[in-house]
Amino acid sequence: MSVAEIEKTDPKSSRLDLIDCDIHPAVMASPAALYPYMSTRWRNEFESIGPRVAQPFLRQVPYPRLTPGNGMRGDAWPAGGGAPGSDLGLLQQQLLDTFDISHGILVPLTPSTLNQGLCAAICSAVNEWQIDRWTSHEPRLKASLCVTPDDPEAAVEEIRKHAGNRKFVQILVTPRTIEPIGRKRYRPLFEAAVEYGLPVALHSDIGGKHANSGAGWFSYYWEDHVAYTFSMQTMITSLIMEGVIDRLPDLKIVAIEGGFAWVPSLGWRLDKHWQRMRSEVPHVTLPPTEYMRQNFWYTTQPIEEPETPKHLQDTIRWIGADRLLFSSDYPHWDFDDPRYAFKTKLSRADEAAIFAGNARRLYRLDQ
């Protein structure tokens, strides 16, 4: 489908407000764009050794995708060359204008580089690049403050550098950390987030330092993609059970690109077993679902599709419609179109909350 064939929404029938909480500007497809923002040392290292991550292939994702560009939408390639998500004009036309999006949150995906110095340098470069190349040219776009969680000291330094810039609406980390992210070593990162009033977003990551399940490595992309929920579940479990939310009641956490239908079951499991094992975690003072209702948000894409679409209504009721943030995941292959993503009719109030209201409040977009 070409851009011209996309049915343009009629502004009068469209929602009043639409905010897309997961847009991917191309980072690693054209890393040379980052070089101006890197020191000679790190630029040289990037070019010679490269951003090594914990997987066997230097320049190939561990589970090959099914569409060109490592799983891109076929119609998102700019006519003038470059990767999907590399051209502001096409992104404006194909996404922001077509769907009349008020705000889009940029979520640049940086590699979980093993060399923490290089990892921090890439994050710093990506942060400046977002302002320079994206948000300065398009006020509808907001940036994510990328930091490397496994080096909390560097992360806090990077947060301090940019937290005053309101173009950055959240701190972005990968949930596939060396240790579960609730453990003490990561505490400074969350303390800084609370200090500056920024939510911490965790976006599914394709590479990590541990097997993609406790039972070993998958063989197929299909398995790996379904299991993007694992790191999200572990992150929520760890932050609650290590007492991080108890200590930092104002902490706001966003789980991006994991869908959300798994959330109710996780909450019931956590509550049930916490009740039995309270002596092991006396620092967790409330039932875990209470924290989930207060401190966690979930972006909707890739939205789960029950065989009976209305079943999703139960799921939303169990999670709370105030917890969900619409996201498209543009320009990835499994893009959710805001017109068709929900196969069940939401109430006007829930629709307004999920498609914009929740994000507007969480990210303080009106301030």
Partner 1 sequence: MSAVDQTEVAQRLPSGIERGAIDCDIHPALSSTKELRPFLDEHWQEMLAVRNIDGLDLTSFPPKADLFSRPDWRPKQGKPGSEIGAVKADVLDHFDLKFAIANCLYGAQAAYNEYIGEVLCRAINDWLSKEWLDKDKRLRASIVVSLANPEAAAEEIERVAADRRFVQVLVLAMGEALLGRKQFWPIYRVAERLNLPIGIHAGSTYRHAHSQAGFHSHLVEDYVVQSQGFTAQVLSLIAEGVFAKFPGLRVVLIESGVTWMPALMWRATKNWRGARIEIPWVRQAPAAIMREHFRLTLQPFDAPPDPADFERLMEHFGTDEMFLFSTDYPHWHFDGDDVLPAGMPASLVRKILVDNPLKTYPRLVEAS
- Residues contributing to the site for partner 1 (CB under 8 A): 66, 175-183, 208-223, 225-227, 229-231, 233-235, 237-238, 241-242, 259, 261-262, 264-266, 268-274, 276-277, 279-281, 302, 304-308, 311, 314-315, 318, 333-334
Identify which of residues 101 and 270 has a Cβ nearer to partner 1 in the complex: 270
Number of helices followed by number of strands (H, E) in the chain: 14, 8
Nearest Cα neighbor of 172 from 142, 140, 149 is 149
CB of 329 to partner 1, least distance (A): 12
What's the token pair of residue 162? 């940019």
Identify which of residues 144 and 177 has a Cβ nearer to partner 1 in the complex: 177
Beta 103-106 vs 324-325: how paired, if at all?
A: unpaired
Ordered alpha helix ranges (H), the chain: 40-48, 68-71, 88-91, 116-129, 152-162, 187-195, 221-226, 228-241, 244-247, 263-276, 288-295, 311-319, 348-352, 358-362
CB of 333 to partner 1, least distance (A): 7
Give the single-character DSSP code of 260.
S
CB of 261 to partner 1, least distance (A): 4
Identify which of residues 44 and 275 has a Cβ nearer to partner 1 in the complex: 275
CB of 31 to partner 1, least distance (A): 25
CB of 311 to partner 1, least distance (A): 5
The residue written with tokens 């709370």 in the block is: 320
Identify which of residues 195 and 305 has a Cβ nearer to partner 1 in the complex: 305
User: Whole-angstrom Cα distance, residue 305 to residue 233?
Assistant: 19
Nearest Cα neighbor of 269 from 241, 288, 282, 297 is 288
CB of 270 to partner 1, least distance (A): 6
Whether a cis peptide bond, with omega within 30° of 0, leads into 302 is yes
Identify which of residues 145 and 240 has a Cβ nearer to partner 1 in the complex: 240
Identify which of residues 24 and 176 has a Cβ nearer to partner 1 in the complex: 176
Identify which of residues 160 and 272 has a Cβ nearer to partner 1 in the complex: 272
Identify which of residues 106 and 189 has a Cβ nearer to partner 1 in the complex: 189
CB of 44 to partner 1, least distance (A): 31
CB of 216 to partner 1, least distance (A): 5
Residues 21/301, Cβ–Cβ less than 8 Å: no
Long-range contacts of 33-37 (CB under 8 A, 24+ apart): 33/86, 33/129, 33/133, 34/122, 34/125, 34/126, 34/129, 35/125, 37/124, 37/125, 37/126, 37/128, 37/129, 37/132
